[in-house]
């Protein structure tokens, strides 16, 4: 296990804030804070709620930026090198397609779905976790011959 | 003023993502790298914490009949079942997530970071969403004309 990078307390704190934010979104606006849906339904609106969606996403970016600037050590970002920028673009397309086709992402299915006893959400979460894990494993094997 | 109440939960969400480490692709990949010798299970605590808090809040909130601002509450429990489309979509999402270590929320929360990778990723994200929506008719507006159709048919009782 990677004990050097294990950060259970900040992870838990971050998760609690995410849960709280999700709850507030439901309480205030009656909306499910699944990010792929918040963004996706701006592209294809189903109701007259794009103002709420844009405001939420602006908040998301602002909250992220403020936290990085105010909290020492926060906001480190190390990107995978394999595949370069084209790989990241392809990954983005896959995520964009998969999250809307499947109706959710880590927040939509994982947090909201599971909390609301969604069988589809639970199944989706297991699926994307397992697939992502296999992809990471395969990438490591193919790129560095198995060394980690 | 009400705009602040739209922005604030988003900001709290973004803060949570950054503090948790979800915005660091390397940390996400370290979490997904279960079989590797350097497994970092931290992100399991993120989801656990989020579900613990939102799970309770979801119950409490549904004692109300409506949200605090305009809108409607969705049902207390999700009725989304397991479908082939859902599983396929999740698998494709997992593929992209495993390749990049980035999912939608962290990408948007990191917009101000200035990393070109984030802009490239979001470009791809939007492209992929549009393909799903336009080619596969995902996120179709609820049949807005079902009401009109009924009206055109007329009231079945009074003929």
Q: Nearest CA of chain B to the CA of A114: how many Å? A: 7
pLDDT exceeds 60 at position B74: yes
pLDDT at B2: 81
Task: Please compute the mean of the pLDDT values over residues A21-43 and round it to a whole number.
Answer: 96
pLDDT at B153: 44
For residue B58, the tally of other CB atoms under 10 A from its CB is 24
Residue scoring higher pLDDT (B153 or A142): A142
Please tell me if residue A17 touches chain B, with a CB cutoff of 8 Å. yes
Q: What are the angstrom distances between the C-alpha of A34 and each of A20, A25, A111?
A: 13, 10, 8
pLDDT at A147: 57
CB-nearest partner of A87 from B12, B99, B126: B99
For chain A, what's the residue count?
A: 148
For chain B, the first-to-last Cα distance in angstroms comes to 51
% chain A with pLDDT above 70:
98
A11–B42 CB contact, under 8 Å: yes
pLDDT exceeds 60 at position B159: no
Question: CA–CA separation, B116 vs A117, rounded Å?
Answer: 38
CB-nearest partner of A40 from B54, B55, B139: B139
Nearest one of A80, A107, A100 to B100, comparing CA atoms: A80
Out of A87-91, B34-38, B91-95, B143-147, pick the least confident.
Answer: B143-147
Minimum Cα–Cα distance from B48: chain A residue: A15
Please tell me if residue A5 touches chain B, with a CB cutoff of 8 Å. yes
Please tell me if residue A84 touches chain B, with a CB cutoff of 8 Å. no
CB-nearest partner of B93 from A32, A116, A128: A128
A131–B91 CB contact, under 8 Å: yes
B13–A19 CB contact, under 8 Å: no
CB-nearest partner of A75 from B23, B42, B104: B23
pLDDT exceeds 80 at position A91: yes
pLDDT at B65: 87
Would you say B125 and A97 are in contact if contact means Cβ atoms under 8 Å apart? Answer: no
Q: Given the structure tokens 């979001």, which residue do they identify? A: B122
Nearest one of B14, B113, B8, B114 to A63, comparing CA atoms: B14
Please tell me if residue A12 touches chain B, with a CB cutoff of 8 Å. yes
B99–A83 CB contact, under 8 Å: yes
% chain B with pLDDT above 70:
89
Minimum Cα–Cα distance from B63: chain A residue: A27
pLDDT exceeds 80 at position B35: yes
Tokens encoding A7: 């950060």
pLDDT at B71: 84
Q: Predicted ipTM?
A: 0.95
A16–B16 CB contact, under 8 Å: yes
Question: CA–CA separation, A50 vs A44, rounded Å?
Answer: 10
Question: CA–CA separation, B45 vs B50, rounded Å?
Answer: 8
pLDDT at B157: 47
Contacts of B78 in chain A (CB under 8 A): 112-113, 116-118, 120-121
pTM to 2 decimal places: 0.91
B82–A21 CB contact, under 8 Å: no
Q: B11 falls in which pLDDT band (50, 70, 90)?
A: very high
pLDDT at B76: 87
B128–A28 CB contact, under 8 Å: no
pLDDT exceeds 70 at position A87: yes
Residue scoring higher pLDDT (B142 or B30): B30
Residue scoring higher pLDDT (B78 or A12): A12
Average pLDDT, chain A: 94
pLDDT exceeds 80 at position A148: no
- Alpha helices in chain B, H assignment, sequence order: 2-20, 25-32, 42-61, 84-100, 104-109, 116-135, 146-153
Task: Please compute the mean of the pLDDT values over residues A100-115 and round it to a whole number.
Answer: 96
Please tell me if residue A123 touches chain B, with a CB cutoff of 8 Å. yes
DSSP state of B62: T
Nearest one of B142, B139, B138, B100 to B121, comparing CA atoms: B100
Nearest one of A116, A30, A105, A15 to B56, comparing CA atoms: A116
pLDDT at A96: 98
């Amino acid at each position: 296990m990677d004990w050097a990078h294990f950060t259970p307390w900040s992870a838990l704190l971050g998760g609690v804030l995410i849960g709280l934010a999700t709850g507030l979104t439901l309480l205030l606006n009656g909306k499910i804070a699944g990010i792929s849906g918040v963004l996706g339904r701006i592209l294809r609106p189903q109701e007259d709620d794009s103002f709420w969606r844009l405001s939420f996403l602006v908040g998301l970016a602002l909250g992220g930026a403020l936290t990085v600037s105010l909290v020492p050590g926060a906001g480190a970002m190390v990107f995978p090198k394999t595949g370069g920028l084209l790989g990241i673009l392809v990954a983005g397309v896959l995520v964009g397609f998969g999250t809307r086709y499947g109706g959710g992402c880590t927040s939509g299915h994982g947090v909201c779905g599971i909390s609301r006893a969604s069988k589809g959400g639970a199944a989706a979460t297991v699926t994307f976790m397992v697939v992502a894990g296999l992809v990471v494993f395969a990438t490591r094997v193919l790129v560095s011959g198995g060394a980690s | 003023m009400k705009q602040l109440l739209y922005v604030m939960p988003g900001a709290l969400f973004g803060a949570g993502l950054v503090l948790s480490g979800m915005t660091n692709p390397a940390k996400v990949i370290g979490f997904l790298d279960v079989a590797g010798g350097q497994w970092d299970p931290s992100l399991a605590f993120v989801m656990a914490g989020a579900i613990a808090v939102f799970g309770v809040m979801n119950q409490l909130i549904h004692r109300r009949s409506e949200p605090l601002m305009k809108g409607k509450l969705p049902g207390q429990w999700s009725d989304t079942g397991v479908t082939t489309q859902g599983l396929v979509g999740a698998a494709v999402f997992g593929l992209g997530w495993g390749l990049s270590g980035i999912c939608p929320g962290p990408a948007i929360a990191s917009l101000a970071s200035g990393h070109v990778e984030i802009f490239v990723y979001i470009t791809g994200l939007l492209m992929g969403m549009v393909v799903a929506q336009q080619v596969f008719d995902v996120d179709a507006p609820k049949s807005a004309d079902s009401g009109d159709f009924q009206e055109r048919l007329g009231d079945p009782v009074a003929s």
